[in-house]
Chain A
């Protein structure tokens, strides 16, 4: 299957700082990238859907000014958690799909964010 990377794999930051997470599709062009959030032993909650070159579509209850998403190229999407607070601590996972993959989503390894 296709490979999706995420960076960093984990990050610890102080409350009030901003954190950027990168999601890259390494061997295919990702026209759509999804950002999920997963709490321990729970399911994946879709935060937003981003299509290359256009604004992200955010799910109900997700603050777009707090979780900034940029999908500037067919291989890179970024999620920036602005003014992070302890309640933002979670596992953030991206997935990517493209014309070549059909509807199949290829998931990145995830980023563990801890806000102190």
Chain B
């Protein structure tokens, strides 16, 4: 079946350091979405990428969609304590979204 893997599984960074999570799909995706889930909370939509090679920025967050539409990345510049949480990618395949395994980010003040 379709699988979406994310690396790393965990990441601890010092506040102010950069952070990147990578998302890799076993199949070509129609689009990819990114979500953030705080401990005890539900996933919150961050962004959607549709085009091959697309790059989008939201303040300190930069999202990329690979040329082959099988991988994506999320980069956070100068992390803050408010960035703590688990980041999931979700790749659209046919009618559904397959969530990645997630990267749990801890930011040390």
Contacts and interface: CB of A to CB of B under 8 A. Distances in A.
A103 B44 contact: no
Contact of B45 (A59, A105, A109): A105
Interface residues of B, number: 22
Contacts of A110: 42
B100 A106 contact: no
Interface residues of A, number: 24
Interface string B89-109: 010100111111110100000
Contact of A43 (B41, B92, B99): B99
A63 interface: no
Contacts of A108: 42
Given A43-B102, A44-B88, A60-B1, A107 B97 contact: no
A106 B45 contact: yes
Contacts of A109: 41-42
Contacts, number: 52
Given A43-B100, A44-B88, A57 B42 contact: no
B99 A93 contact: no
B21 to A, nearest CB: 13
Contacts of A57: 95-96
A60 B96 CA distance: 13
Given A44-B88, A44-B99, A104-B48, 18 more contacts: A1-B45, A34-B97, A41-B104, A42-B101, A43-B99, A43-B100, A43-B102, A44-B43, A46-B96, A46-B97, A46-B99, A49-B95, A57-B96, A93-B43, A104-B45, A105-B43, A109-B41, A110-B42
